């Protein structure tokens, strides 16, 4: 009985786990975490942000763009995947798949 309860608690907590994208500076000393809700998709400009690595946490579809407005060709990274040498990324979209992105907003430097 206790094992069943623990399994149920584990499944429930994974279903409600927070989803996010973490952008880290080249030296790893700075980072910014972008949080996701399950129904939207948003474009974030990171043109003026040092992007040494980008990591997806707990789900969501992440697309990396060299443009600053999430248009054109992109590279997709998976959930719980971290990629390095992402200085070429000027924007990324994140959220539910199959819907258009909102944004980007006017902010492009997330460490300032």
> What residue ranges do the domains of the chain occupy?
18-95
Q: What is the pLDDT of residue 85?
A: 92
Burial string for 17-44 (b: 16+ CB within 10 Å, else e) reads: eebbbebbeeeeeeebebebeeeebbbb
Q: What is the pLDDT of residue 14?
A: 46
Tell me the pLDDT tens digit for each residue of 22-73. Answer: 999 988 889 999 888 777 888 999 998 888 999 998 877 899 999 999 999 9
Instruction: Tell me the CATH number of domain 18-95, given options 2.60.20.10, 1.10.10.10, 3.40.50.1820, 3.30.1330.10.
Output: 2.60.20.10
22 closest CA partner among 79, 107, 100, 104: 79
Give residue 17's Cα distance to chain centre.
14
């Amino acid at each position: 009985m206790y094992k069943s309860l623990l399994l149920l608690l584990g499944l429930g907590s994974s279903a409600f786990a927070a989803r996010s994208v973490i952008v880290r500076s080249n030296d790893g000393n700075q980072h910014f975490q972008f949080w996701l809700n399950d129904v939207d998709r948003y474009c974030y400009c990171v043109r003026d942000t040092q992007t040494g690595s980008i990591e997806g946490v707990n789900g969501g579809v992440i697309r990396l763009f060299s443009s600053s407005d999430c248009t054109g060709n992109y590279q997709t990274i998976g959930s719980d995947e971290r990629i390095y040498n992402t200085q070429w990324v000027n924007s990324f979209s994140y959220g539910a798949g199959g819907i258009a992105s909102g944004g980007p907003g006017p902010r492009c430097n997330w460490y300032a």
